[in-house]
Amino acid sequence: MTTLKNDLFLKALKGETVERPPVWMMRQAGRYLPEFMALKKKYDFFTRCRTPELAAEITVQPIDIIGPDAAILFSDILVIPQAMNIEVEMKDGIGPWLPNPVRSLKDVEQVVVPDVYEELGYVFDAIKLTKEMLDNRVPLIGFAGSPWTILCYAVQGQGSKNFDKAKELCFAHPEAAHALLQKITDTTIAYLKAKVASGVNAVQVFDSWGGMLSPTDYQEFSWKYIQQIVDALKEETEVIVFGKGCWFALQEMAKSGAAALGVDWTCSARNARYLTGGNITLQGNFDPSRLLSPPDQIKKMVTQMIDEFGKDRYVANLGHGILPNIPVENARAFVDAVKNYSK
């Protein structure tokens, strides 16, 4: 294993004492960068995901331009359902579009648990290429969506404010929902293990729609499947779990064996530390819209955020993905504020 020139991120995940917290941003490889938009004009979304050279180039762009302490592989959570025999398109102005949503037990039976190397080989090729381009400058993060979040898209057929169809499947046909969730879980575990084998240094599970569920339903339809993923991977790599709107589950998540927990901007540092017992690495939680503030104000707010979380067992990040309308200099101000932090 070649030594990383900057292993601050991995040290923070392991709970080691650091000079300053590491920093990266969710969705940092993407749409706020002019360099990304130039490639977007030339190639459609899934072409960018499926072409290792493009995915690697996009992954490395923010490392060169804004300088975070970790890279996250450019991909999408919906490559998993695609590999499982569920058709997924990206439509301009709509986002994900699944023409044949999964709405019954019969539909669930058509969903396959694939050979991930056969169906998703392009992702592992992208990892190897990215590692070459990164040249050990920073660690590389691999990721997947939570089984519940994937179910939301597979059943709803598109993004939604309330995912009512997804909930209907869970509550009216729980047998079908659990069968689907287990298939997604099995595929995700195989996928993340293959990512680790291909060279990622840590993995993150995004539970983007976890906050749509009540605490009781969250345990049944989301958390128990995330726990399976953590159990399967925690011996092999550091696992970060990020549930948007899931502050109510932080106490349970802290006992899971995950290396770190993501926190969104609606949960204060104090509450997050209290709920997690103060001895697990937390990641977050700057409001992405706050990057529209003037750079000098961003710097003050970032310093305050680090003071509140504490510099150890902490990874500075946003509370969700970076927005497309953020000026690059503001994104850089966020990263620099963390890098210049001294207590």
Taking the CA atoms of 245, 250, 255 and 257 in sequence, report the sign of the dihedral they define. Answer: positive
Angle between helix 174-198 and 121-134 (nearest 10): 40
Cα(167)–Cα(160) distance, rounded to whole angstroms?
Answer: 12
Q: Is 198 annotated as a binding residue?
A: no
Residue 69 among known ligand-binding residues: no
173 known member of a binding site = no
Answer for the pair 240, 205: CB distance below 8 angstroms, yes or no. yes
Report pLDDT for 42.
97
Residue 341 marked in a binding site: no
* 289 annotated as belonging to a binding site for a ligand: no
- Shortest CA distance to 59 belongs to which of 68, 51, 71? 71
The segments of the chain whose pLDDT lies below 70 read 1, 343
What is the per-residue pLDDT for 246? Answer: 98
Please check if 208 is assigned to a binding site.
yes
* Other CB atoms within 10 A of residue 106 CB: 9
pLDDT of residue 1: 57
Which residues are registered as beta bridge partners of 282?
Answer: 261, 314
Question: What local confidence, expressed as pLDDT, does residue 92 receive?
Answer: 85
Question: Could you give all domains of the chain from N- to C-terminal order, each with its CATH number?
Answer: 8-339 (3.20.20.210)
SS (H, E, C) 81-109: HHHCCCCCEEECCCEEECCCCCCCHHHHH
Give phi and psi for 206, each to the nearest 5: -95, 115
76 is annotated as contributing to ligand binding: yes
Parallel, antiparallel or unpaired: strands 89-91 and 95-97: antiparallel
Q: What is the predicted pLDDT for the residue at 342?
A: 86
d(CA 148, CA 31): 26
178 annotated as ligand-binding? no
The answer on whether 320 is annotated among ligand-binding residues is yes
